[in-house]
């Protein structure tokens, strides 16, 4: 059997968690058939590090943006985001969005920051990687008002209910599932994954966080995206081959790589 090929739509390979063994992490990725990934930005401070990583590795792309709960001295501007994302391997704006789980950044500031990112994304015609945590209503209002459908977007590490998934799908967005879809108690999330149409589904690790079962609690890495794929194949009652090929095709489409 030829080896399956996977696309990890969201990881943070530049993080210090990988400082000591990054080359081994890349090796394991290749061995498991994770041929492509997007290493996602959470601030501007480490963007050059991220850019270099993408330049030095085939099949690795990056994004530019500021996380909703990340404290910064100066708020990003549309201009800045347009300039910083102007690179052949920069395929998205984000991660950004709304996060009411922690309270490092005031909701009003998150709101303005999120809108700035979507405006920039529309300008450069790249999708927005959306981080939404315990902020479904606020996120969906902004996505709609700022017309996310004009540039496309991804609800990353999806952890909301079907109602929110449906609203995002109606706006033309993609839904990305991470390791938490494998957690024992998350039946409701698996039910959402079952319902998401195959042509809008993405898989991710969000490494180094949220390692899937059976690696739960350990540092996560892109090689483990296979366990996310296996879980979704099972709940959808389809083959791992289909998940691998269709989620890869979806990622290539949303990141405008085809």
Binding site for Zn ion (CB under 5 A): 95, 131, 206
Residue among 68 and 152 whose Cβ is closer to Zn ion = 68
Residue among 146 and 206 whose Cβ is closer to Zn ion = 206
Least separation in angstroms between residue 213's CB and Zn ion is 19
Residue among 4 and 203 whose Cβ is closer to Zn ion = 203
Residue nearest to Zn ion (CB): 131
Q: Which two tokens stand for residue 236?
A: 């959808």
Residue among 4 and 61 whose Cβ is closer to Zn ion = 61
End-to-end CA distance of the chain: 26
Three state DSSP letters for 38-75: EECCCCCCCHHHHHHHHHHCCCEEEEECCCCCCCCCCC
- In terms of Cα–Cα distance, which of 175, 232, 179 is closest to 200? 175
Q: Which residues partner with 64 through β-bridges?
A: 93
Least separation in angstroms between residue 37's CB and Zn ion is 12
Least separation in angstroms between residue 42's CB and Zn ion is 7
Least separation in angstroms between residue 207's CB and Zn ion is 9
Q: Are 41 and 95 in contact (CB under 8 A)?
A: yes
Residue among 109 and 240 whose Cβ is closer to Zn ion = 109
Least separation in angstroms between residue 169's CB and Zn ion is 19
Give CA–CA dist 210/180, Å, rounded: 6
């Amino acid at each position: 059997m030829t080896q399956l090929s996977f696309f990890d739509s969201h990881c943070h390979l530049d993080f210090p968690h990988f400082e000591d063994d990054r080359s081994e992490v890349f090796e394991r990725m290749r061995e498991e058939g994770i041929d492509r990934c997007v290493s996602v930005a959470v601030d501007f401070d480490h963007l050059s590090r991220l850019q270099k990583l993408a330049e030095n590795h085939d099949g690795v792309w990056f994004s530019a943006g500021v996380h909703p709960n990340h404290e910064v001295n100066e708020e990003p501007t549309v201009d800045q985001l347009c300039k910083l994302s102007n690179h052949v391997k920069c395929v998205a704006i984000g991660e950004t969005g709304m996060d009411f789980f922690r309270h490092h950044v005031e909701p009003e500031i998150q709101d303005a920051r999120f809108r700035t990112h979507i405006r920039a994304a529309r300008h450069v015609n790249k999708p927005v990687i959306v981080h939404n945590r315990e902020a479904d209503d606020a996120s969906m209002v902004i996505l709609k008002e700022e017309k996310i459908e004009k540039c496309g977007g991804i609800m990353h590490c999806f952890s909301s209910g079907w109602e929110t998934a449906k609203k995002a799908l109606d706006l033309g967005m993609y839904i990305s599932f991470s390791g938490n879809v494998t957690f024992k108690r998350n039946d409701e999330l698996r039910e959402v994954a079952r319902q998401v149409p195959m042509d809008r589904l993405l898989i991710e690790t969000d490494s180094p966080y949220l390692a899937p079962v059976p690696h739960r609690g350990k540092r996560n890495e892109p090689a483990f995206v296979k366990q996310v794929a296996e879980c979704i194949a099972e709940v959808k009652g389809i083959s791992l081959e289909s998940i691998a090929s269709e989620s890869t095709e979806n990622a290539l489409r949303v990141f405008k790589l085809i």
